[in-house]
Structure 1
Amino acid sequence: MTATPDAPIPDAPTPDVSQPWQWDEQTWRGHVARVRAGRSLRPESWPGGARAAVALSFDSDHETIPLRDGETRPGKLSQGEYGARVGAPRVLRLLERHGIPASFFIPAVSALLHPGEVRDYVAAGHEVAMHGWIHERNMLLSPADERELAFRAADTLEKLSGTRPVGIRTPSWDFSDHTLAITRELGLSYDSSLMADDEPYELLADGEPTGVVEIPVEWIRDDAPYLMMDRYAALRPYTPPRQVAGIWRDEFDAAYAEGGLFQLTLHPHIIGHRSRMAALAELLDHIAAHQGVWYATHAQVAEHVWKHAR
């Protein structure tokens, strides 16, 4: 499956300085319609007659979060380094123990800092997918800069992994007015940054089908909102890891009952700590106790649902 090629990236539109309550109907409808959920791609069945699909993903941000913000002191960088030095190896061992393939969305700068990690992902049969250049905030970039960084990131991951990436998760799940057009120009099969459904769907651009599969994310199914810590702000990990895993267990149980997709987003520098890995291991044990579960990378899910949508 290949996304439909898009037109060249237009110049940034003139900002609308009016208040939203002053917009006419054409204006607010235009904003809503720019990127929209199209037809559902929930398949008639999953491979091998499986009852449900499980797509685990890990965003290997590592040092790029502080670097993006111009934070170059050792303290913040060491928190990211933990993800590469300790978290990612633990994740790989847990996945190997369960025989589960996963998708690793990695900023190109992370990949350049840790090329051996990328090789380890590939050697273990996991997917390497795009996650920006330096975890940049794409909604603050010009269209030209966003495009240049995206193509540079794709080229870098292809060189390091040996395979051109077929999917993207935008940094911080930010989606500018030009992100979809860039995704289509790259020829990517899927995106995993938006939240309009529990199940995969096709993205529309101004009402027109694009051929791009959306594998939706949700903050409920992400470790960061529950477990992040900022020393100088009110951000604290208030929810114990096993309670977080309990939320995800309920999400899986509902997906299994409905015959749908359970998608999870994790970060090696967050989930990779001992107590949190224990909770993740319990979740995977819970899933493994169910018959008829298809474990797949995001790329495999996108390929399957595109071919077998209802």
Structure 2
Amino acid sequence: MPSEDSSLPAESWRWPETTWRGHVDAVRAGQRLVPNRWPGDARVAVALSFDSDHETIPLRDGETSPGRLAQGEYGARVGAARILNLLAHYGVPTTFFMPAVAALLHPEEARAYTQDGHELAVHGWIHERNMLLGRADERELTARALDTLTTLTGQRPVGIRTPSWDFSESTLAIMLELGFAYDSSLMADDEPYEILAGGRPTGLVEIPVDWIRDDAPYFTMDRYGSVRPYSRPRDVGEIWRDEFDAAYRDGGVFQLTLHPHVIGHRSRLVVLRELLDHITAHHDVWFATHAQLADAARGVLHGSTTARTVPSEHTP
């Protein structure tokens, strides 16, 4: 009996193989890029990141109430400073992905990231939904964001994370056209890999993310919707410690995505501090920005370093 589910793509079950295979192969994971040993002879690479979205989430959706904007302002007013102080205490470099509008609202914060030795990377113009944009608009906003961060800090970003981790049909081509060295928006692996376009290598390094290693799904609150915090911070900390421990055993990468307006609250920052205590108790850890990690991964791609065979499963 034919399906009447209107949520399904129009007659996708009728697609010939060339159609569904074409969609799958458009953007695909290629060679895994894990060197036999990380810089400093480290066993594991740790790449922390913070998406400094601030007020851009409500602004993107045309929400201008002081209440919604204040939730984002917390990240700039309180969270970012706490995070920078914590990172300085541990001597850990990290990557901040920042929408250009957030950087224009808080230019001193954007400059503080790079002045403290961290990386500042592109995260859209106003955290726009690129899936709703045409190619010309998406390219214009991405290029404008790139130019804005360059002007504010004097350093041209080399990496990008798409807003909401979305990829349109044009996103990859725009990244390549604008000369980005890496992306951090896709989820096809635990470890860095080369992105393929239509089965062809692009040279673009992907540093994959995942909702498991993101604070927002655990702690986000929407008063008028169904989104509610459902996890105790220390329960989330346990998940992240387990993710790190598995990466350490495999000799791979532990990547984490956080948000100043989410993790920056007192009871949640405790979890990040405890996680850093746990990680730094291991002597053979390489803390890297996403750009540094991409450079190390690219060494495998270019044959200057030997690739490690990372198991897909491990025995505890």
Equivalent residue letter for 1:96? A
Contact 1:158 1:164 in 2 (8 A): yes
Provide Cα deviations, 1:47-69, integer angstroms capped at 9, x if missing partner: 01001000000000000000000
- Percent identical among aligned pairs is 70
- C-alpha displacement at 1:291, in angstroms? 1.5
- Supply the distance in 2 between the matched residues of 1:19 and 1:125 (Cα, whole angstroms): 51
Could you tell me which residue of structure 2 aligns to residue 284 of structure 1? 276
**Aligned-partner Cα distance in 2 for 1:235–1:107:** 23
Aligned partner letter, 2:99: P
Give, in whole Å, the separation in 2 of the partners of 1:91 and 1:206: 40
Aligned partners of 1:174, 1:106: CA distance in 2, in Å? Answer: 16
Which residue is equivalent to 2:260?
Answer: 268
1:70 is aligned, of 35, 58, 62, to 62
- What CA distance in whole angstroms lies between the structure 1 residues aligned with 2:10 and 2:164? 27
Report if the CA contact (8 A) 1:35-1:204 is conserved: yes
- SS of corresponding position for 1:27: helix
Selected match of 1:211 from 203, 228, 231: 203
Task: Give the distance between the partners of 1:40 and 1:294, measured in 2 at CA.
Answer: 19
Take 1:175 and 1:191, find their aligned partners in 2: how far apart are those partners? Answer: 11
In the other structure, the counterpart of 2:115 is 123
Structure 2: how far apart are the matches of 1:301 and 1:236? 34
Quote the residue 1:26 is aligned against.
18
2:294 to 278, 302, 308: 302
Q: Give the TM-score normalised by structure 2.
A: 0.92
The residue aligned with 1:103 is 95
> 1:45–1:308: 8 Å Cα contact kept in structure 2?
no
Letter in 2 for 1:81: E
SS of alignment partner, residue 72 of structure 1: coil
Partner residue in 2 for 1:198? 190
In the alignment, is the contact (CA less than 8 A) between 1:221 and 1:248 conserved in 2?
yes
Say whether 1:221 aligns with 2:213: yes
Q: Distance in 1 between matches of 2:47 and 2:62?
A: 33
Find the aligned partners of 1:128 and 1:250 in 2 and give their Cα distance: 28
AA partner of residue 117 (structure 1) = E
Q: Could you tell me how far apart the structure 1 residues matched to 2:255 and 2:266 are?
A: 22
Output the amino acid matched with 1:180. L
Q: What is the deviation of 1:238?
A: 1.0
The aligned length equals: 294
Alignment pair present for 1:43 and 2:35: yes
Give the corresponding residue for 2:304. none
Report what 2:314 is aligned to: none
Contact 1:52 1:260 in 2 (8 A): yes
User: CA separation in 2, counterparts of 1:49 and 1:149?
Assistant: 40
The match for 1:86 is 78
Distance in 1 (CA, whole Å) between partners of 2:70 and 2:111 is 22
Counterpart of 1:139 in structure 2 is 131
Distance 2:246 2:126 in 1: 35
- The reply to whether residue 153 of structure 1 matches residue 145 of structure 2 is yes
Deviation at 1:236, TM superposition (A): 1.1
- Conserved in 2, the CA contact under 8 Å of 1:191 and 1:214? yes
**Normalization by structure 1: what TM-score?**
0.94
CA–CA distance in 1 between the matches of 2:111 and 2:90?
Answer: 20
SS in 2 for 1:61: coil
SS in 1 for 2:78: helix
- 2:285 pairs, out of 289, 293, 299, with 293
1:263-300 per-position Cα deviation (integer Å, ceiling 9, x unaligned): 00000000000000011100110001111000000000
CA distance in 2, matches of 1:306, 1:44: 13
Cα distance in 1, alignment partners of residues 17 and 59 from structure 2: 41
**Match for 1:223: what amino acid?**
D
Give every structure 1 segment of 4 or more consecutive aligned residues whose post-TM-superposition deviation is greater than 4 Å: none
1:243 to 232, 235, 242: 235
Letter in 2 for 1:231: R
1:14 corresponds to: none
Shift of 1:18: 4.3
Equivalent residue for 1:59, pick from 48, 51, 63: 51
Distance in structure 2 (CA, Å) of the matches to 1:18 and 1:239? 37
